[in-house]
Amino acid sequence: MEISKSYDENIFKEIINLIKKRKIDLAEEKLNSITEKNAMWNYMYGLMLFNKSWYDSAIYYFNNAISLDPSNDFIKESYANLMSRHKHYCDDYYHGGYRRRNRGCSCCCCDDCCCDFDISCCDLICLDQCCECMGGDLIECI
């Protein structure tokens, strides 16, 4: 059974509303009921997976959508917007990253205290996370 364009638009609007309402399982069920896996379907499936926090799988479907319809600016722009949401979390300190003062040896935002010891920034961040899990805080600025 081939799905008509109007049916696509209606079902995809319904799926977007389900995703917005956090009814992810129902959205997935509706997506799985569609037989034609076109670019919009791949985009919607990626969006559903993204909202499930299954990021690797979501990226796979977003890329499928773009490769199936490379001229679809909506899909490309939506994908770029979704991927830019986390930008400030992955900026590194060499390029003016989020919450980093970038002075001294630029190893971290903790006033370069790790430069005086044989401890890497990764070690400090890991220790800080362990402390925070137990209610403490080793490094306030992280």
Q: What is the pTM of this model?
A: 0.56
Residue 136, sorted as left (phi over 0), alpha (psi -120 to 50) or beta, turns out to be beta
pLDDT value at 110 more than 70: no
Cα-based angle 132, 83, 9 (whole degrees, multiple of 5) = 130
pLDDT of residue 25: 94
pLDDT of residue 139: 75
The structure tokens listed for 90 are 């992955």
Query: What is the mean predicted confidence (pLDDT) over 65-88?
Result: 82
Q: What percent of the chain has pLDDT over 90?
A: 33
Burial class (CB in 10 A: 0-12, 13-18, 19+), 45: buried
